[in-house]
């Protein structure tokens, strides 16, 4: 895949990156990181740009882990649903087969009635 060359400015420092992602996407990430870092710097004057970058990285890693755990949880739930659906399908097939056998048995019993009479319904 072709790599895109992207120029980002984060906390006043220019970075040139090569990425398989689109330039617009990378610019969006850069703008988000820049805004977050500037907010951290504004809120705490003793935090350096490097410290703000480390804090942002830790937050991003935490969010990624939470997202990964949520995705794994969803995959497990989907697997459970698929297993339940497969079991229900087997049960439905068995019920259809039993119903078919009962219909045949009823038809045979009706044929065995004297004179082809039908039983009275109540």
The per-residue pLDDT for 1 is 80
The per-residue pLDDT for 65 is 98
Q: Rounded distance, CA 49 to CA 42, Å?
A: 11
Rounded to an integer, the average pLDDT of 41-67 is: 96
Under 8 Å CB-to-CB from 13, ≥6 apart: which residues? 49
Average pLDDT across the chain, whole number: 93
Q: Rounded distance, CA 58 to CA 51, Å?
A: 11
> pTM score, two decimals?
0.66
* H and E: helices and strands count for the chain: 2, 2
The per-residue pLDDT for 21 is 95
Q: Rounded distance, CA 99 to CA 105, Å?
A: 10
DSSP single-letter state for residue 34:
H
Rounded to an integer, the average pLDDT of 42-67 is: 96
């Amino acid at each position: 895949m072709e790599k895109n060359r992207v120029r980002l400015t984060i906390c006043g420092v220019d970075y040139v990156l090569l990425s398989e992602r689109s330039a617009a996407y990378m610019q969006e990430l850069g703008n988000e990181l820049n805004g977050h870092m500037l907010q951290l710097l504004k809120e705490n004057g003793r935090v350096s740009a490097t410290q703000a970058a480390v804090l942002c990285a830790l937050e991003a890693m935490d969010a990624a882990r939470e997202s990964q755990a949520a995705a794994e949880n969803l995959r497990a739930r989907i697997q459970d649903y698929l297993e339940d659906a497969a079991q229900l399908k087997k049960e439905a097939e068995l019920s259809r087969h039993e119903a078919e056998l009962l219909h045949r048995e009823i038809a045979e019993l009706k044929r065995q009635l004297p004179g082809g009479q039908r039983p009275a319904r109540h």
